[in-house]
């Protein structure tokens, strides 16, 4: 009887979204697809037996130092995501630094535009801190507390291999991967219970309507820059 009830109710499924990995792997060069409803995408990719009880979205606020309008566009998207009742956003930190880095020497063909060739240059380095740690910690905690029957991680980041392995091997709960890249990393494939891929057509049919209407009746419009040029 308990088994029949389980299948009738479906498998409680939590989706863990690595926001920056999704962006850089699938969306950065497809700005027209950035108005993405991640729950709708997961429902499109997964089986009808997967009942999505929560969507946990891990990201960080971008800096205005490179693109002054980027924080505004990102906030509009956050507001759209928050119209999904099951979704919660967890934020790490976005850092912009200007470190010095070693410069690779030019080809030995005598055509270098710089003479003498410098050994180091100063670069603008952007990095996101905390999201993968938060995602991994929450995945393991939720498994320990029996918050899901199936977990699905939307990422291709191999830093998540160990928490996935712990949940699958030690806690005996399935963890799937929705891969935003063309090929899933071998290390992730080795530890995951199953792998699903995101196609361009799945992304296209999982877009929010434009506009989205929030709980206060306010219309949220897709940033026009996401259609006209590369954005966030």
- Does residue 181 lie within any of the structural domains? yes
- Does residue 111 lie within any of the structural domains? no
Indicate the pairing of strand 87-91 with strand 194-197: unpaired
Task: Return phi, psi of residue 61, to 5°.
Answer: -75, 130
The answer to whether the bond into 59 is cis (omega within 30° of 0) is no
- Does residue 32 lie within any of the structural domains? yes
Residue 5's pLDDT is 41
Domain that holds residue 81: 2-94+127-228
Read off the pLDDT of each residue in 145-150 and give the average, rounded to a whole number.
98
- Does residue 198 lie within any of the structural domains? yes
- Does residue 37 lie within any of the structural domains? yes
Burial group, residue 130, by CB count within 10 angstroms (0-12, 13-18, 19+): middle
Tens-place pLDDT, residues 42-79: 999 999 999 999 999 999 998 888 789 999 999 999 99
Q: What's the chain's average pLDDT?
A: 87
Distance, CA of 25 to CA of 41 (rounded, Å): 15
Q: Is 100 helix (H, G, I), strand (E, B) or coil?
A: strand
- In total, how many domains does the chain have? 1
Tens-place pLDDT, residues 148-198: 999 999 999 999 999 999 999 999 999 999 999 999 999 999 999 999 999
- Does residue 110 lie within any of the structural domains? no
DSSP line for 38-78: HHHHHHHHS-TTEEEEEEEEEE-PPPTTT-TTHHHHHHHHH
- Does residue 177 lie within any of the structural domains? yes
CATH number of the domain within which 12 lies: 3.40.50.1010
- Does residue 99 lie within any of the structural domains? no
């Amino acid at each position: 009887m308990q088994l029949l009830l389980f299948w009738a109710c479906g498998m409680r499924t939590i989706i863990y979204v690595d926001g920056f990995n999704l962006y850089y792997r699938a969306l950065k060069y497809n700005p027209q697809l950035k108005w993405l409803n991640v729950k709708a995408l997961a429902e499109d990719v997964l089986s009808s037996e997967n009942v999505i009880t929560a969507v946990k979205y891990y990201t960080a606020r971008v800096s205005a130092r490179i693109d002054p309008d980027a924080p505004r566009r990102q906030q509009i998207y956050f507001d759209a995501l928050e119209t999904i009742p099951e979704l919660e956003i967890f934020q790490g930190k976005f850092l912009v630094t200007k470190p010095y880095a070693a410069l690779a020497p030019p080809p030995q063909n005598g055509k270098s535009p710089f003479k003498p060739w410098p050994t180091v240059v100063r670069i603008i380095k952007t990095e996101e801190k905390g999201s993968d740690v938060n995602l991994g910690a929450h995945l393991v905690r939720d498994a320990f507390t029996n918050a899901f029957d199936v977990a699905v991680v939307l990422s291709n980041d191999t830093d998540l291999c160990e928490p996935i392995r712990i949940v699958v091997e030690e806690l005996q709960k399935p963890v799937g991967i929705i891969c935003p890249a063309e090929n899933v990393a071998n290390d992730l494939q080795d530890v995951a219970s199953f792998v699903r891929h995101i196609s361009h057509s799945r992304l296209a049919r999982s877009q929010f309507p434009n506009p989205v209407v929030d709980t206060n009746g306010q219309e949220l419009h897709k940033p026009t820059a996401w259609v006209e040029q590369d954005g966030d």
